[in-house]
Amino acid sequence: MSDSQPAQLTRVMGKTDVIALAFGAMIGFGWIVLTGDFLSSAGTLGSALAFVIGGFIIMLVGLTYAELVAAMPHVGGEHNYVLRAMGSWPAFFTSWMLVLGYVSVVAFEAVALPHSMSFLVPDLMTGYLWTIAGYDVYAVWVAVGVLGSVLITVLNVIGVRPAAVFQTIAVVFLLAVGATMIFGSFVGGSLENMEPLFTGGMAGLIAVLVATPFLFVGFDVIPQSAEEINLPKKRIGQLLIASVIMAVVWYVMVMLTVGSSLPAAELAASDLAAADGVSALWNSELMGQILVIGGIAGILTSWNGFMVGASRLVFAMARSGMLPAWFGRLHPKFRTPANAVVFIGGLSVLAPFFGRPALVWFVDAGGLSIITAFLMVSLTFLVLRKREPNMERPFRTPAGPLVGGAAVVLSAGLGLLYLPGMPAALVWPAEWLIVGTWVLLGIIFMVRIPRISYGPNAEHELMVAAGKNPDELLTS
C-alpha cells in the first residue's frame, strides 16, 4: 500500500446492494429500545406523526443529496460537494463533523450489541470491571462488543461486496420481522390499546422529533460509496430517495403495531416495549425474542453501513490532502480503504469499555454533528444551483430553490434543539467533551490545509497544493 498506488475503488454494487446499504444503515436498534419512550411521550398517533414530520425534513435534505450525488458520484459525498461550492475549509469542517456523526453511530452499535444480547443471554453480566455514571461494566459484556467490532472491521477490509451481501441478508431478515409485526397487529392488536392517540402535547411531539435525525441518518452512506456503485447516475439519486421513504414507513409501522399490542400503561412500564408488545400480539414469548434478534440484525446493518460511510469519507479527505496520506491508502488485494476501516474499527473497539451510558452520549453528540453536515449540504445545493446552473444534473430535484431553502431552515431548526436550554441540549461533561475535543482536533488539521477557493477544479487544486497526485481522482 504505497503512496504512489492509484487510489481507485472498484464498482461492484448494484441496485439491491445500494438499497440494503442505506435502508439497513437507517434501521439500527433504536426502534426497539426507544419505542416505549416514544409512545409514552407522544401517544401512538403522536409518535407516528413525529416520524412523518421528521421524515419529511430528512426527505427535503435527501432531495438535495440526490441531485448532488447524481451530479458528482465520487467517494466522500459531502466532502466533494462543499469543496466545489465553498472551498477547502468549509469542506473540511463539513466532512470532519460528519465523520464524528458516523463514528458515533459505529460506536453506538458496538455498545448496543452487548446491551441487546443481554436480554437474551443474562450471563453476559459477568466479570465486574468498573462503574460509569451509575452503570456497572462487565468483562464478558465488553468482550461481545469488542468481538463485534473486530468482525465488522474485518468484513469491511475484505471488501465492499461481501459487506453488501451481508447487509442484504440482514435487511431481508429485518423485513421478515416487520411483516410479523404487521400481521400480528391484525391478529392480536386492538384499537383500544392505541389510546391515547396523542399525549404530552407539543412537548411530547418534540421529544420524539428530536430523535429522528439520529434514527434517519444512513441514506447519506450512498454518496460516500458512490464510486463503488455500478449504476446510472440518475438511478443513484432515485435509490437514495427510495431508501428514505422505506425508513419512514418502517418507523411509522413500528409505532402503530407496538401501540396496538398492549395498553399504554403496560408499554410504559416495560423495559423493552417493542419485544413485550410483539409477544402480546402473538401470545408467545418466542416472538418477542425473535424481535430482539431482529433488533440485533438492525444493529449489524447500521454498524456495517456506517463503517462503509465513515471509512470512505476519511479516505476521500486523505486522498485530497486534508488528512494524513496513511488514511488514503487502499488494500493491495481487496481494493478497500483498509487503513481508514481499521482506524474507525479501532475507535469502535474502545466504545464498549464505557458501558451503557455511552449509548446516550453517542446519540446526542452524533446527532448535532449530523445535523450540522445536513445544513452545510443543503446550503451547498443552493449555492451550486445559483453559481453553476448549467452543471450536468442527471437527477434534478423539482422546485429546487424551494426544496433547498426549506431544507436549510428546517435543518437549522433541528440543530438549535441541541443547544443549551433546548429539549435535546447536549449534557455536560461527556457529550460536550466529545464534540469539543473533536472540534479542537479538527481545527489543528484544518489550519494546515491550503486555502482553496470554490469551483469545479477545487479538488484538483487542493491536491496539487497539498503535494498529492491529481491523477488519483477518478472520472465518472
116-120, 148-152, 165-169: which has the highest mean pLDDT? 148-152
User: Which pLDDT belongs to residue 47?
Assistant: 94
Helix (H, G, I), strand (E, B) or coil at 385: helix
User: Which pLDDT belongs to residue 299?
Assistant: 83
Flag whether 449 is in a domain: yes
pLDDT in tens, 206-254: 888 877 877 787 787 777 676 677 778 788 888 888 888 999 999 999 9
The set of residues, in sequence order, having a beta carbon less than 8 Å from that of 202 and lying 6+ positions away, is none
Torsion sign, CA atoms 395, 401, 403, 408: positive
pLDDT in tens, 405-457: 999 998 898 888 788 887 667 788 888 899 899 999 999 988 888 888 887 88
Q: What is the DSSP letter of 122?
A: G
Flag whether 3 is in a domain: no
Of residues 18 and 383, more confidently modeled: 383
pLDDT in tens, 85-116: 999 899 999 999 989 988 888 888 888 888 87
- Judging by beta carbons within 10 Å of its beta carbon (0-12, 13-18, 19+), is residue 214 exposed, middle or buried? buried
User: Which pLDDT belongs to residue 97?
Assistant: 92
| 341: β partners | none
CA–CA gap between residue 153 and residue 35 (Å, rounded): 29
Average pLDDT over residues 193-208: 87
Torsion sign, CA atoms 427, 428, 430, 434: positive
Flag whether 471 is in a domain: no
Count structural domains, the chain: 1
CA 61 to chain centre: 14
**Cis preceding linkage at 394, omega within 30:** no
Contact 240, 219 (CB under 8 A): yes
The answer to which of 70-79, 333-342, 372-381, 462-471 has the lowest mean pLDDT is 462-471
pTM of the model: 0.81
Flag whether 148 is in a domain: yes
Flag whether 452 is in a domain: yes
CATH of the domain at 348: 1.20.1740.10
Mean of all residue pLDDT scores within the chain: 84
Flag whether 29 is in a domain: yes
Does residue 163 surpass a pLDDT of 80? no
Domain range holding 184? 15-461
| Radius of gyration over every alpha carbon of the chain, rounded to an integer in angstroms | 22
- pLDDT cut 90: percent of the chain above it: 28
User: Which pLDDT belongs to residue 6?
Assistant: 43
User: Which pLDDT belongs to residue 198?
Assistant: 92
Flag whether 5 is in a domain: no
Does residue 3 surpass a pLDDT of 50? no
**Cis preceding linkage at 429, omega within 30:** yes
Flag whether 474 is in a domain: no
